[in-house]
């Protein structure tokens, strides 16, 4: 398959990654650049997708990317059987719990670090479930991939919009940012936030290939 040209947004992300690469890391690559700045291949995109899926399928993400039953999960670690949220929580059609017990009753909106073990988590955004069109629980890598690249099911985002979604979340200390640093003895999503941003830039630049 013909390599895809990288968009300006992806070039900016990848250029930032290159600029922040340490001298030691550069020495290990044998090059002054850690990432391509013009073209990426489908194979590179699929490699990036595998790492994106490892994040999307982690409980830090799937616990809120649930289906039409509107029930968040309390699964702790990858591989554990899905466990419904305690206190019989149901976020309702509003996906924020407006019909009964609001998510914000316990989950706080704050940019303070999550340092207290077993305390309710907080982020810089109001807590809510992801739209039901974005369900990831119980879905395969291919199903999540196709959903994520479909504007009708990903919040109306094109390739650049998916990268910008992560950048915007980082500015607000939102849910994606929290997933990589959840505190309170919670296991973080794998790989780190900066690596996830770079993987998304590579995957979208490659044309968003699915396995």
* E-only strand ranges, the chain: 4-5, 39-40, 108-109, 122-123
pLDDT tens for 131-177 read 999 999 999 999 999 999 999 999 999 999 999 999 999 999 999 99
Alpha carbon distance 161, 149 (integer Å): 10
Number of other CB atoms surrounding residue 188 within 10 Å: 16
Is 53 a residue whose pLDDT tops 80? Answer: yes
In degrees and rounded to multiples of 5, residue 73 shows phi and psi of -110, 165
Name the percent of the chain lying above pLDDT 70.
82
The residue ranges of every structural domain in the chain are 4-14+40-205
**Helices and strands in the chain, H and E counts:** 8, 4
Looking at residue 1, its pLDDT comes to 44
Q: Write out the two tokens for 131.
A: 């739209």
Residue 184 confidence class, pLDDT cut points 50, 70, 90: confident
Question: Regarding beta strands 122-123 and 108-109, do their DSSP bridges make them parallel or antiparallel, or are they unpaired?
Answer: parallel
How confident is the model at residue 185, as a pLDDT?
87
Residue 5 · residue 206 · CB < 8 Å: no
Rounded to whole angstroms, the Cα distance separating 44 from 59 reads 26
Mean pLDDT of the chain: 86
Virtual torsion, Cα 195, 199, 200, 202, nearest 10 deg: 140
pTM: 0.85
């Amino acid at each position: 398959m013909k390599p895809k040209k990288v968009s300006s947004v992806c070039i900016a992300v990848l250029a930032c990654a290159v600029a922040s690469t340490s001298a030691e890391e550069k020495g290990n690559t044998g090059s002054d650049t850690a990432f391509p700045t013009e073209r990426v291949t489908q194979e590179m995109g699929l490699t990036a997708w595998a790492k994106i899926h490892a994040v999307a399928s982690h409980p830090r993400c799937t616990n809120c990317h649930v289906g039409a039953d509107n029930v968040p999960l309390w699964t702790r670690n990858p591989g554990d059987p899905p466990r419904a949220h305690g206190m019989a929580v149901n976020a309702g059609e509003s996906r924020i719990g407006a019909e009964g017990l609001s998510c914000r009753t316990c989950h706080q909106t704050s940019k303070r670090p999550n340092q207290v073990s077993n305390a309710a988590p907080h982020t810089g955004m109001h807590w809510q479930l992801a739209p039901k069109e974005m369900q990831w629980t119980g879905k395969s890598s291919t199903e999540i991939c196709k959903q994520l690249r479909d504007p009708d099911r990903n919040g109306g985002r094109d390739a650049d919009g998916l990268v910008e979604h992560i950048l915007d979340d980082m500015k607000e200390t939102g849910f994606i940012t929290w997933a990589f640093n959840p505190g309170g003895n919670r296991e973080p999503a794998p790989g780190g936030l900066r690596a996830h941003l770079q993987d998304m830039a590579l995957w979208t630049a490659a044309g968003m290939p699915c396995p």
